[in-house]
Amino acid sequence: MDKKIERSFNKEAFLSKSDDEMIICRCEEVTKGEIRKAIHEGMLTIDELKKYLRTGMGLCQGRTCTKLIKNIMAEELNKPPNKLKNLTPRAPLRPIQMQIYANDDLNNFG
């Protein structure tokens, strides 16, 4: 079961940091500052960040950025990174052309 999180409006102003321009999700070109700001606005899980910013939705499916995002979340939310969830792995493991996928199950019916 998911950990209980209480959420109300964050009245504190968002403070930018000197490394906010750094690209964290390379596929979707999402910066550290965008991730920090989304957390500040209430996106408190890795899946909520993904849905809000597209972090981890690109060609690599989060293989590169998941750890980096968890470290940013850990810092912003004051939690150890190993207590945070990972992105859900999605099939297919590698990108696959639609014409190939379309035949994927036809040779092994039964």
Partner 1 sequence: MKKYDVIIVGAGVIGSAAAYNLAKKNLDVLVLEKEEIGIGGSSRNGGGVRQSARKAEELPLAIYAVNNIWPNLEKELGVNIEYHQEGNLRLGKTEAHRQILADIVAQGQAQGLELELIKRDEIKKICPYISDEVQYASYCPTDGHANPMKTTLAYYKKALELGVKFITGEEVTSVLIKEGKIAGVKTKTDSYSSQKVILAAGYESKFIADSLGIEIPMRKLLVEVLVTEPRELMFDQMIGTAGSDFYGHQSEHGSFVFGGMTGNEPYQFDQKRRVTLKRTAPSISRAILNYFPLLKDLNVIRTWSGFLDQTPDHLPIISRVEEIDNFYLACGFSGHGFGIAPAVGELIADLAAEEDPALNLSSFKYDRFHPKS
Sorted by sequence, the CB contacts under 8 Å of residue 68 that are 6+ apart come out as 24
Nearest distance from residue 18's CB to partner 1, in Å? 26
Asked if residue 13 binds partner 1 (CB under 8 A), the reply is no
Nearest distance from residue 36's CB to partner 1, in Å? 15
- Single-letter amino acid, residue 46: I
| For partner 1, the closer CB: 8 or 18 | 8
Nearest distance from residue 23's CB to partner 1, in Å? 17
Evaluate whether 33 touches 20 at the Cβ level (below 8 Å). yes
3-state secondary structure of 110: coil
Asked if residue 99 binds partner 1 (CB under 8 A), the reply is yes
Using CB under 8 A as the binding rule, the residues of this chain from 66 to 85 that contact partner 1 are: none
Evaluate whether 54 touches 28 at the Cβ level (below 8 Å). yes
Place of tokens 């403070």: 15
| For partner 1, the closer CB: 22 or 42 | 42
